[in-house]
Amino acid sequence: MKHIVVLSGAGISAESGIKTFRDADGLWEGHDVMEVATPQGFAANQNWF
């Protein structure tokens, strides 16, 4: 493989129908940020990931 292209950004996922993290119905809605965005939260809730 000679070339790699990476397209990234919230707009790309939203346009393709993938839930974003911050929208009203986003992936983090209904979860305390400290439960999903810290090493301790990950360790305690591994089944979410």
User: What pLDDT is recorded for position 35?
Assistant: 82
Give the H or E element holding residue 40: helix 39-44
Closest C-alpha among 33, 34, 38, 36 to residue 47: 36
User: What pLDDT is recorded for position 32?
Assistant: 84
Q: How do residues 1-43 score in pLDDT, each as one tens digit?
A: 799 998 877 677 777 777 777 777 777 777 787 887 899 988 9
User: What pLDDT is recorded for position 10?
Assistant: 64
User: What pLDDT is recorded for position 3?
Assistant: 94
| pTM, 2 dp | 0.41
Domain borders along the chain are: 12-45
User: What pLDDT is recorded for position 40?
Assistant: 92
Q: What is residue 38's DSSP assignment? A: S
